Amino acid sequence: MKIHEYQAKELLRKYNVPTPRGEVAETPEQVREIAERFGGVVAVKAQVHIGGRGKAGGIKVAKNPEEAEEKARQILGMDIKGFTVNKVLVEEGIDIKEEYYLGVIVDREAGRNAVMVSSAGGMDIEEVAAETPEKIAKAWAYPGRGLLPFQINRLIFDAGINPAVRKEAAQFLRALFDCYLGVDATLAEINPLVVTGDGKVIAADAKIDIDDNAMFRHPDLEAYRDEEGAENPLDAEARRRGINYVHLGGEVGIIGNGAGLVMATLDEVKRAGGNAANFLDIGGGAQADLVANSLDLVLSDPNVKGVVFNIFGGITRGDEVAKGILEGVGRLDVKVPIVVRLTGTNEEEGRAILRGSQVIPAETMQEAAREIVRRSRE
């Protein structure tokens, strides 16, 4: 789950990670009021679930409350790569002396949490990683033991952090890592990590991704979920219904069981000359109701000109899927072609259920893909 910068900073503060004083606002007037209370220079920062806000004009500095209100008026409602800005974070200006990059991620290959620190702060870290990897100091936390003091020490020396703030930087790193583990994050990025003129180490920006699988441990974080700014309302709707859906924007709706199989179906549709409207995985052991609901969701996309089902029964039973398809088709007045490829557990029963309906059967996934692409063009 992606969370906003202001939410990430709320979490950081809970773990004693220093952040600038800041408040979130939804109107230019609120922004002015906050800026008045803060006094002096403030930054007004768009809160959207996408990178590159700065370059897109989503972050502006204001010298006084009037200017803050004016900047907020420019930013609020703005479109950044398809995301609408509904909220801004108003932060006290900080006296930036040095900028560093700090990132913690789950390193799949190592099977451990990796911590990266670089003096190339504020820059595009992927570019730094590609071009001057020696500028990134790395350490891998030992599972169960966490990030050990000597590792923190080494990161600071290797990244060339100003020795004058070594103690503060070590405290920051420890607290950040505690936060990362504490909230079950899969990513925590502080870019830039700022050393201020008076020797404070502070998180100027913050990005935290929470592990969706761990949300059962963090019911309080559910409130951080914000689908409003998502790219497509269908993604939000899918989330509400508990359906594993990704909007892709093409004209062929795709439903299947198992992520790999659905992705392969996407590939086959593409090879057949079509464009996937979405990715939808009903998972293992789906019941008729979920299938009907999924069809409903896919069909609510006005671009969709046809839907293909690709089901390989294992735990998922063919008859359940067939029932769900008919239920969905019955509920809605379906005008577009629906091609169904059904095999595996209870495939016979499933096909029998679908016989005589408007649903078009297919033998293989390749055939199904060709068929739906052809028919959705008609």
Partner 1 sequence: MSILLNKETKVIVQAITGREGGFHARLMKEYGTQVVGGVTPGKGRQTVLDDVPVFNTVKQAVEETGATASCIFVRAEHNAADAVMEAADAQVPLIVCITEGIPQQDMVKAVDFVKQQGVRLIGGNCPGLITPGDAKIGIMPGHIHTPGPVGIVSRSGTLTYEVVVNLSRVGIGQTTVVGIGGDPILGTRFVDVLPLFEADPETKAVVLCGEIGGSDEEVAAEYIKSMTKPVVSFISGRTAPEGKRMGHAGAIISGRSGTPQAKVDALNAAGATVADSLADIPDMVQKLLS
Choose the contact partner of 273 out of a second copy, partner 1, none; CB within 5 to 8 A by kind: none
Based on the residue annotation, tell me whether 189 is a catalytic residue of this protein: yes
Structure tokens at 79: 């479109």
Answer for which of 19, 30, 47, 151 binds partner 1 (CB under 8 A) is: 151
Answer for which of 39, 66, 228, 315 binds partner 1 (CB under 8 A) is: 315
Q: Which is nearer to a second copy, 108 or 145 (CB)?
A: 145
Q: Which of 23, 168, 189, 268 is labelled catalytic?
A: 189
Choose the contact partner of 319 out of a second copy, partner 1, none; CB within 5 to 8 A by kind: none
Q: Which is nearer to a second copy, 180 or 224 (CB)?
A: 180
DSSP 8-state class, residue 364: S
The verdict on 145 binding a second copy (CB under 8 A) reads yes
User: Letter for the amino acid at 11?
Assistant: L
**Are 277 and 248 spatial neighbours (Cβ–Cβ below 8 Å)?**
yes
CB of 143 to a second copy, least distance (A): 8
The verdict on 142 binding a second copy (CB under 8 A) reads yes
The verdict on 124 binding partner 1 (CB under 8 A) reads no
CB of 212 to partner 1, least distance (A): 8
Q: Which is nearer to partner 1, 54 or 163 (CB)?
A: 163
Closest of 232, 247, 302 to residue 280, by C-alpha? 247
The verdict on 312 binding partner 1 (CB under 8 A) reads yes
**Are 139 and 155 spatial neighbours (Cβ–Cβ below 8 Å)?**
yes
**What is the four-CA torsion angle of 62, 100, 147, 220, rounded to 10 degrees?**
20
Among the candidate windows 198-206, 222-230, 274-282, 331-339, which touches partner 1 by CB under 8 A? Answer: 274-282
* Integer Cα distance of 140 and 58 in angstroms: 34
Write the DSSP assignment of 152-183 as a string of letters.
HHHHHHHTT--GGGHHHHHHHHHHHHHHHHHT
Based on the residue annotation, tell me whether 101 is a catalytic residue of this protein: yes
The beta-carbon contacts of 294-297 under 8 Å, at least 24 apart in sequence, are 294/243, 294/245, 294/255, 294/324, 294/328, 295/255, 295/324, 295/325, 295/328, 295/329, 295/332, 295/338, 296/328, 296/331, 296/332, 297/234, 297/237, 297/238, 297/241, 297/243, 297/245
CB of 93 to partner 1, least distance (A): 32
The verdict on 163 binding partner 1 (CB under 8 A) reads yes
Q: Which is nearer to partner 1, 110 or 332 (CB)?
A: 110
Write the DSSP assignment of 343-354 as a string of letters.
EETTHHHHHHHH
Residues 326-355: x where in contact with partner 1 by CB under 8 A, - otherwise, as a string: -----------------xxx----------
Residues 210-229: x where in contact with partner 1 by CB under 8 A, - otherwise, as a string: -xxxx-xx------------
CA distances from 186 to 129, 210, 318 (A): 19, 6, 36
Cβ neighbours of 356 (radius 10 Å): 7
* Integer Cα distance of 272 and 366 in angstroms: 8
Choose the contact partner of 259 out of partner 1, a second copy, none; CB within 5 to 8 A by kind: partner 1
Query: Residue 207: helix, strand or coil by DSSP?
Result: strand
Active site amino acids: 101, 189
Q: Which residues bind a second copy (CB under 8 A)?
A: 142, 144-145
Q: Which residues bind partner 1 (CB under 8 A)?
A: 106, 108-109, 111-113, 126, 129-130, 142-145, 148-151, 153-154, 157-158, 163, 166, 181, 184, 186, 211-214, 216-217, 244, 246, 248, 256-264, 266-268, 270-271, 276, 279, 281, 283-285, 312-315, 343-345, 364-366
